[in-house]
Amino acid sequence: MASPVIVLPVHNGATDVDRCLASLARWPDVPVVIVDDASTDARIAPLLASFAASRAQVRILSLPDNRGFVAASNAGAEAVDAGAMAVDANADLLFLNSDTEVTSGALDEMCAALEARPGAMVCCPLSTHATFLSLPRYQQPNDLPAGWDAEQMARQVRECAGDLAALDIPTPVGFCMWVRREAWTRFGPFDEAYGLGYGEEDDFGQRVQASGGAIVCAPRAFVYHRGGASFGDTPQVAERKRVNATLLASRWPHYAERTRAFCQANPLRPLQEKLWDALLSAPERRAVHVMHVVARWESPGGALRESILALCRATRGLANHTVLVPMPDRGAWLDAIDHEFERGIRVVGLIGLERRFARFLDASPANVVHFHGHGIWEPMGAVDAARAAGRRILVTGETPMSEECAAVYK
């Protein structure tokens, strides 16, 4: 499969743009169409000119007024279609946000994912800020872990993904999406009814799937995405999201149900748990990972919370710790939510614990399961699941002794 043409809309954000362009220097032969969407930052034009001077296949389009990501993306694709660049007329397109960093190997892994899945028309990577493709905290915006750059994160993601080449997903995530030429010819452009942005990639993805095409994630590909750079967080943006979500639902009434079901099933959970183990261990790796199962998680100062944290801190030189607490199922678009973490310790709420525990444990590298609160709270289904999975089991009251537990963890 040939390299795609990258379509990169830009509107201000010089620091982000500089980072993005520097990352694209890894692929000097990949054509790039940059659409300057009426930037007012005086630093943008010199940045784009310098990048264009550094490689052969760059086209810069300057729009006279700010039209937003949807229209700017369409304008970039139109330039390719009109023969403004010396590229194959059948070249694929890769739409990219300017607040991204494309890491080494990411394009190769996305290409491999498209080739691995017959009928795949669109591919997206994993990222820090990509809703259900977000790492390490699922469905939350993330910074890069302390001490890690984007390249280190990418290496860890590839290691944790193993040989998982492609995964079907219910909708693309627009920060970085490789679109096969056939899909763009049949289902493009993005619908400008979505205004400045939000929902246009979902609408496009539903058109692709309605005709039998597949949308995939490349689990071995990681592209850093800062997120929020284009629009920020304002009441106007919130209203645009609401209006666009209503439009999307009116056109594709099963979109929300299908996407929520995918997020609740979360087939990326094994990759996420392996990544958490690496993150908690850094910079060294620990052979022991303890999963603590507790009835509740209190606010700071609560006796149960403080006793468990004290135990985890006293033994984190020996083991990584995941503290698992039950969360009510209110129909959220996730299976578990990360509350907090520090070196060697993570607290996560598992939605519908009795129903999901066995699957979560199967995805986890935990080799010890410590149930707290004996005689007060005994989730027997979870205990049976841990026993069936062959994990070492420890059952204590709410105030376990660190020395006794450490002896079992070993």
Q: What is the DSSP string of 294-310?
A: -S--PPTT-HHHHHHHH
- The answer to which of 36-50, 172-186, 300-314 has the lowest mean pLDDT is 300-314
Residue 100 and residue 182 in one domain: yes
Helix axes 200-210, 235-251, angle to 10 degrees: 10
Exposure letters 122-138 (e unless 16+ CB within 10 A, then b): bbbbbbbbbbbbbbbbb
Which residue matches tokens 């699957």? 359
Whether residue 405 is predicted with pLDDT greater than 90 in this model: the reply is no
Same domain assignment for residues 261 and 295:
no
The secondary structure of residue 326, as a DSSP letter, is E
Residues 6+ apart with CB under 8 A from 289: 277, 319, 320, 321, 322, 364, 365, 366, 367, 368
Per-residue confidence (pLDDT) for residue 399, from 0 to 100 = 80
239 and 100 fall within a common domain:
yes
* 297 and 169 fall within a common domain: no
Give the pLDDT band of residue 59 (cuts 50, 70, 90): very high
Write b or e for each residue in 211-232: b if 16 or more Cβ atoms lie within 10 A of its Cβ, otherwise e.
eebbbbbbbbbbbbbbbebbbe
**Given a cut of 60, is residue 309 above it in pLDDT?**
yes
Q: Are residues 247 and 173 part of one domain? A: yes
Judged by DSSP in three states, 347 sits in strand
Final residue belonging to a domain, choices 225, 240, 265: 265
Total domain count, the chain: 2
In this structure, the answer to whether residues 190 and 274 fall within a common structural domain is: no
Shared-domain flag, residues 343 and 313: yes
Q: Is the pLDDT of residue 233 over 70?
A: no
Which pLDDT belongs to residue 1?
67
How much is the pLDDT for 163? 95
- Burial (Cβ within 10 Å: 0-12, 13-18, ≥19) of residue 83: exposed
Q: What is the pTM of this model?
A: 0.94
Alpha carbon 349 to chain centroid distance?
Answer: 19
Are residues 31 and 165 part of one domain? yes
User: By residue range, what is the domain housing residue 25?
Assistant: 5-265
Q: Which of 199, 232, 265 is the last residue of a domain?
A: 265
Give the mean model confidence (pLDDT) for residues 331-344: 94
Residue 380 pLDDT: 83
What CATH code is carried by the domain that includes residue 359? 3.40.50
Under the banding of pLDDT at 50, 70 and 90, the label for residue 87 is confident
Please tell me whether residues 136 and 21 are part of one structural domain: yes
Q: What CATH number has the domain bearing residue 155? A: 3.90.550.10
User: What is the mean predicted confidence (pLDDT) over 304-313?
Assistant: 92
Residue 292 has pLDDT above 90, yes or no: yes
pLDDT averaged over every residue in the chain: 93
User: 311 with 250, same domain?
Assistant: no
Contact between 308 and 387 (Cβ < 8 Å): no
pLDDT confidence tier of residue 188, bands split at 50, 70 and 90:
very high
Whether 105 and 21 share a structural domain: yes
Residues 258 and 168 in one domain: yes
Looking at the DSSP assignment, which residues form a beta bridge with residue 213? Answer: none
Q: Which of 212, 238, 265 is the last residue of a domain?
A: 265
